[in-house]
């Protein structure tokens, strides 16, 4: 789609490991329950999925953090479970439990009977939300689209909701690996079409959340999670509006597999707070950009502590391009909004010194 020229392309240049004037920033779950303006719109929508299904309201909450803070990207307000929800599994969100499916995927026959939702039909409301967001942003900052990884989606579908042990889903890998591969193959191809649809609708960057990849042992991570993310990356459109569309892969708890993740052809690797930026940069070199990795819990501390941790993250990555500042996971619901402002202000103050010839600021 054609659109106004980007007034701030800092994050797209950082994804391409090009020089920037300061380290760009966005936050996972930057639109959400910690913002009072979000809660007002959520109440208006009547339900979480009602909010996701309204392109107008989804666009409104997507833009709320961009209007409140000096961020370098907006990320579409949606949910990682839109694809399983469109498979008629009866998704609901239960207070204190999270997502719950009325009908879980329990057998090989269940896998083989699953419908494959289409981006322009069952998931059209997401594409309409992307278009609405691009229109409302009017070139202010880039818009990021996203999805869950095939393995992460499969865990919810097979477990019937959230899990601490993933016993059902892991048993499927051990007992019926062929059936597991059929499920993951279908999900990977569906996700690829879904993300391509988001790009067609106006997304300028993409992120795949592999929230539960870190629950797997090394061999099964490669076989049942990473291989399917690589399959998605191979199918994605990589250019739109004359620019590259960067793809970020984020495996929570995936620090031990950084080199393998970087080898998928992605543009950036997301890091949680358990992986050092310095170590990650040493291991992947200049192959990919790195995104992360402030512990989101620090945003409950005082502004001075937040500033120290921002400085530490910048010092860990060091001089030069290729760092997208982010949290190591999503903004927590109880986070004071003014503490997010403190983090962003500290980043804007400290990060320019890492992008010129001047000595880097010393962490307090």
Task: Output the known binding site for substrate.
Answer: 29-33, 79, 156, 211, 329
- Mapped onto helix, strand or coil, the DSSP state of residue 91 is strand
Residues 25 and 323: beta-carbon distance below 8 Å: no
Instruction: Identify whether the C-beta of residue 246 lies closer than 8 Å to the C-beta of residue 206.
Output: yes
17, 22, 42, 231: the active-site residue: 42
Whether 282 sits among the annotated catalytic residues: the reply is no
**Is 357 annotated in the active site?**
no
Which residue is catalytic, options 9, 72, 79, 272?
79
Q: Which residues touch 275 (CB under 8 Å, ≥6 apart)? A: 255, 258, 292, 293
Nearest C-alpha neighbor of 195 from the set 78, 111, 289: 78
Catalytic residue of the set 13, 22, 29, 281: 29
Residues of the binding site: 29-33, 79, 156, 211, 329
**Is residue 125 among the annotated active site residues?**
no
Q: Which residues contact 173 (CB under 8 A, 6 or more apart)?
A: 180, 220, 224
CA distance 351 to 305: 17
Q: How many CB atoms lie within 10 A of CB 197?
A: 19
CB–CB of 313/277 below 8 Å?
yes
Give yes or no for a contact between 271 and 230, defined as CB atoms under 8 angstroms apart. Answer: no
* Catalytic residue annotation: 29, 33, 42, 79, 156
């Amino acid at each position: 789609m054609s659109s106004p020229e980007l007034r701030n392309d800092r994050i797209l240049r950082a994804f391409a490991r090009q020089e920037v004037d300061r380290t760009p920033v966005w936050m996972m779950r930057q639109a959400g329950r910690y913002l009072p303006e979000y809660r007002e719109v959520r109440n208006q929508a009547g339900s979480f999925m009602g909010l996701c299904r309204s392109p107008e309201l989804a666009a409104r909450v997507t833009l709320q953090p961009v209007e409140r803070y000096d961020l370098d990207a907006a990320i579409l307000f949606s949910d990682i479970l839109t694809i399983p929800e469109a498979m008629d599994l009866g998704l609901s969100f239960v207070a204190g439990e999270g997502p719950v499916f009325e009908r879980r995927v329990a057998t090989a026959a269940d896998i083989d009977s699953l419908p494959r939702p289409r981006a322009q039909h069952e998931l059209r409301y997401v594409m309409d939300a992307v278009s609405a967001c691009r229109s409302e942003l009017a070139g202010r900052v880039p818009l990021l689209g996203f999805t869950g990884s095939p393995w992460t989606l499969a865990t919810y579908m097979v477990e019937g909701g959230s899990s601490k042990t993933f016993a059902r889903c892991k048993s499927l890998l051990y007992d019926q690996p062929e059936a597991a591969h059929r499920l993951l193959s279908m999900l990977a191809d569906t996700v690829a079409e879904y993300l391509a649809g988001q790009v067609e609708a106006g997304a300028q960057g993409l992120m795949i959340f592999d929230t539960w990849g870190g629950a797997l042992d090394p061999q099964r991570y490669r076989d049942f999670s990473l291989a399917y993310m690589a399959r998605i990356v191979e199918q994605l459109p990589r250019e739109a509006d004359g620019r590259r569309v960067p793809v970020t892969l984020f495996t929570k708890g995936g620090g031990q597999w950084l080199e393998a993740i970087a080898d998928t052809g992605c543009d950036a690797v997301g890091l949680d707070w358990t992986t050092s930026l310095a170590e990650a940069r040493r291991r992947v070199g200049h192959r990919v950009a790195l995104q992360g990795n402030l512990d989101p819990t620090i945003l409950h501390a005082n502004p001075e502590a937040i500033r120290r941790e921002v400085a530490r993250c910048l010092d860990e990555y060091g001089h030069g391009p290729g760092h997208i500042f982010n949290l190591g996971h999503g903004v927590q619901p109880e986070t004071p909004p003014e503490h997010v402002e403190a983090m962003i202000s500290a980043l804007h103050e400290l990060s320019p010194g890492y992008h010129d010839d001047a000595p880097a600021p010393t962490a307090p």
